[in-house]
């Protein structure tokens, strides 16, 4: 089949909204034609696609033309395509001893950056109460606020598993209300998993939510929504009775069928015991290196919090200093009239400027 025949076969049309992707001509990109076998009624069509090159696409869609190409071709880097992370793939990673990465993200921009960096799980945690909304603790954040931020994060995530944190008061009072609220995270906000704090005492509730086809992540140890009961943010499981309770909690969640278990603020040795005992992947935060995965707060690793970091926090960048420097530089440039420059300003077309000068000159002449 000739290239012209392929053109006819696909019924390719130029579309006025086409914008050629950045790096279109880069040698590390290849054009992949989508669904040719499905589109073609010619049994030999697929075998004759090879001659259809980037030059053919350039001929059909020259740089100056419009039209959307995304529904016909995709541009992907050479190498293995990234797979969508699912609840099943988390268990597969545990079985193959592959570490799981998780970071919090609370809006479109941060979620997109975290997702594109290759992190496995994006957690829209109720820690946004402090990092984004300035509350004293996580107890004040509302269901509507959590849904709002989960929706925003969902728009930035393509490959990571998106987990939404059910806030305090949204699941404790009534099982049916908890199921309705969990369903809102999935239906309205795009979450793929909801997170619920508590172990043994939450197992029946978690089973009911899972029975409603909603995956659940468990969370035991230092559970921030229990801060008033615990008397502060204290490491849990430091004595034998505490260790025994954590083991019971973990086993109960494992048997309930949770997608993963977050272990927060517990001794490394206890976290290692739990990780070895349960089939469910464990994600640690302040629980040592022996968990199946690790999670940190986005703002913590970038120094965007306004309090001393916890012992387990490692800072990987100083976004606070970067932002402060940039803001101060902007203010200084405005104060000294260095911003905006002429190059950063729009100008009238030559013809319009000439006509305007003529009009202004006439007005000046009339005033004389």
Q: Indicate which residue of 70, 264, 277, 351 is catalytic.
A: 264
Per the annotation, the verdict on 277 as an active-site residue is no
Q: Which residues contact 23 (CB under 8 A, 6 or more apart)?
A: 29, 75
Antiparallel, parallel or unpaired: β 73-77 and 282-285: unpaired
Is 235 domain-assigned? yes
CA torsion sign for 131, 135, 138, 141 is: negative
pLDDT in tens, 259-283: 999 999 999 999 999 999 999 999 9
Residue 69 — very low, low, confident or very high, per pLDDT cuts 50/70/90? very low
Instruction: Please state, in angstroms and rounded to a whole number, the distance separating the CA atoms of residues 173 and 178.
Output: 8
300 & 327 share domain = no
> Are both 108 and 135 inside the same structural domain?
yes
36 with 143, same domain: the answer is: no
Number of domains in the chain: 3
Q: What is the mean pLDDT of residues 307-312?
A: 94
Residues 65 and 147 in one domain: no
Q: How far apart are CA 294 and CA 2, in angstroms?
A: 54
The reported pTM is 0.78
End of a domain among 42, 77, 112?
Answer: 77
129 and 222 in a single domain? The answer is yes
DSSP string across 330-358: HHHHHHTT-SS-GGGS----HHHHHHHHH
Beta strands 282-285 and 260-264 are parallel
Range of the domain at 343: 322-367
**Angle at alpha carbon of residue 161, lines to 256 and 294, rounded to 5°:** 80
Q: What is the pLDDT of residues 289-298, one digit of tens each?
A: 999 999 999 9
Q: Is residue 82 part of a domain?
A: no
């Amino acid at each position: 089949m000739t290239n012209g025949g392929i053109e006819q076969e696909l019924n390719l049309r130029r579309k006025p909204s086409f914008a050629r992707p950045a790096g279109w001509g880069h040698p590390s990109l290849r054009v992949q034609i989508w669904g040719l076998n499905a589109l073609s009624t010619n049994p030999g069509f697929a075998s004759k696609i090879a001659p259809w090159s980037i030059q053919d696409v350039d001929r059909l869609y020259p740089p100056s033309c419009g039209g959307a190409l995304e529904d016909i071709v995709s541009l992907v880097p050479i190498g293995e395509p990234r797979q969508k992370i699912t609840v099943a793939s988390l268990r597969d990673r545990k079985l193959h001893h592959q570490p799981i990465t998780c970071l919090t993200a609370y809006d479109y921009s941060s979620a997109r950056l975290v997702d594109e960096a290759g992190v496995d799980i994006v957690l829209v945690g109720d820690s946004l109460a402090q990092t984004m909304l300035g509350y004293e603790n996580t107890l004040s954040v509302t269901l509507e606020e959590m849904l709002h931020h989960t929706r925003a994060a969902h728009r930035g995530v393509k490959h990571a598993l998106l987990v939404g944190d059910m806030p305090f008061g949204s699941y404790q009072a009534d099982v049916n209300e908890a199921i309705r609220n969990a369903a809102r995270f999935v239906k309205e906000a795009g979450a793929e998993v909801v997170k619920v704090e508590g172990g043994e005492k939450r197992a029946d509730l978690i089973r009911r939510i899972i029975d409603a086809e909603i995956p659940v992540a468990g969370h035991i140890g230092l559970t921030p929504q229990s801060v008033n009961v615990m008397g502060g943010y204290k490491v849990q499981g430091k004595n034998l009775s505490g260790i025994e309770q954590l083991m019971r909690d973990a086993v109960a969640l494992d048997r309930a069928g949770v997608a993963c278990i977050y272990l927060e603020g517990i001794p490394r040795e206890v976290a290692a015991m739990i990780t070895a005992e349960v089939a469910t992947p464990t994600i640690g935060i302040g629980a040592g290196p022996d968990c199946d995965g690790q999670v940190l707060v986005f703002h913590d690793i970038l120094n965007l919090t306004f309090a001393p970091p916890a012992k387990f926090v490692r800072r990987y960048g100083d976004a606070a200093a970067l932002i402060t420097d940039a803001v101060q530089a902007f203010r200084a440039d405005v104060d000294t009239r260095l911003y905006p420059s002429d190059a950063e300003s729009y100008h009238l077309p030559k013809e319009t400027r000439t006509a305007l000068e003529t009009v202004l000159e006439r007005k000046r002449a009339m005033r004389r």
